[in-house]
Amino acid sequence: MNINGLNFCVIGGGIGGMAAALALRSQGAQVTVLEQAPELTEVGAGLQISANGMAVLRALGVAGKVPEAGQISGGTVLRDYRNGRVISRVPVPAAGSTYYYHRADLLDLLHKAALRSGVDIRLDAPVATVHKHPSEAEIVLESGERLRAECAIAADGGRSAIRPILNGPEIPVFSRQVAWRATIPWTQREELPCASLTMGPGRHVVTYPLRDQRLVNFVAIEERSDWQEEGWRRQGDPDDLRTRFADFGGPVGDILSKIDEVHLWALFLRPVAQIWQNGRLALLGDAAHPTLPFMAQGACLALEDAWVLTRAFQDNSGVARALATYEATRRPRARQVVGAAGANARNFHLRGPMRLAAQAALMAVGPRLARRYEWIYSYDATA
């Protein structure tokens, strides 16, 4: 199907929405992005883009063979929480290196590329609802303004306001896990920087470098049930964080001592959507498949979605058929990856004899552990 001149409306100006807009525009579509925020900003945070996500960024032209804005990974170090003792090392996946991005940097790359390509980006434009008509989608803004497009793409995140249009109201389930996130200035440099996963009973910490090792990204997950606010921009108390992870030593203890600003949020479980599209409206990214952060695949899945969606329009005649192909292609993989992330949530927090047994196993198989997830990293949506 030739989408040259076809009108698309993308709801949400995050990584998935911008990538979809850029991919569709590259095929000649007329694309409008509606972002509810008055400006494109991100709480200071890092994200990991593994080989499957990097394939899309390179195909979109926003990352070269060696991306300037991304910090290349030398693998992952697995540590015990007490003193930071190294349990094992997981090498770079055979599919290719992972890159660490500051979320704001990656969004800026996509935003600028979208503007250069002619995407119309409208800020401060929250969407109230979307109506399906026989030959178009009608997008109704909260201001009352109405837009029409041949296709609307909802990329408005895990708490999507548009997803209930297709799937009805849903009640998310608290995972009994809370995440703390911070970035701090850093001066220590490594020749080949790695991510570090430090595991303890009921808790774990992930750290990795950003911006040419001038920052360290810090994410700490703990099991608790006394706090259940879902929003992820809530300001946290650094002293409370240090108290809760006081028995973590080694590199994590050093980083904890330097944190002076932190955000936290409760992790909620939502299933992969049963219905992704209705012939005029489709879900993309976290709106379709919210995932726990324990495989670092949220952004990568959204990038894959963007490319597969665009390819579905190239390979099929008619909007309805293209969206049906997109859903059929993406849903099985999304379910597999989301399931793998859920399993890691349990594996990272083992207690007592099970934790010791798992450490012994990791010492033996750690160097081969990346192979277990090669099916994730080796997937190339652009092939």
195 occurs within a structural domain: no
pLDDT tens for each residue of 202-251 = 899 999 999 999 999 999 999 888 876 776 678 899 999 999 999 999 99
The parent domain of residue 125 ranges over 7-171+270-377
Structure tokens at 52: 């499957």
High-pLDDT (> 70) share of the chain, %:
91
Query: What pLDDT is recorded for position 367?
Result: 62
Residue 205 lies in a domain: no
Q: What is the pTM of this model?
A: 0.94
- 372-383 confidence digits (pLDDT tens): 899 999 999 999
Residue 88's pLDDT band (cuts 50, 70, 90) = confident
Residue 216 lies in a domain: no
Residue 71 pLDDT greater than 90, yes or no: no
What CATH number has the domain bearing residue 139? 3.50.50.60
Share of the chain above pLDDT 90, in %: 75
Of 347, 333, 320, give the one whose Cα is nearest residue 289. Answer: 333
Give the tens place of pLDDT for each residue, 94-139.
999 999 999 999 999 999 999 999 999 999 999 999 999 999 999 9
Q: Tell me if 99 is assigned to some domain.
A: yes
pLDDT in tens, 321-351: 999 999 999 999 999 999 999 887 666 665 6
Residue 39 has pLDDT above 90, yes or no: no
Flag whether 200 is in a domain: no
Provide the domain count of the chain.
1
Residue-level pLDDT at 344: 74
Distances (CA, A) of 152 to 128, 280, 281, 284: 13, 6, 5, 10
Q: What pLDDT was estimated at residue 299?
A: 97
Q: pLDDT value at position 41?
A: 72
Residue 310 located in a structural domain: yes
Contact 223, 349 (CB under 8 A): yes
- Classify residue 259: in a domain, yes or no: no
Indicate the DSSP class of residue 229: -
- 180 located within any domain: no
Mean pLDDT of 250-278: 95
Q: Which residues of 333-372 are buried (b: 16+ CB within 10 A; e: fewer)?
A: bbeebbebbeebbeebbbeeeebeeebeebeeebeebbee
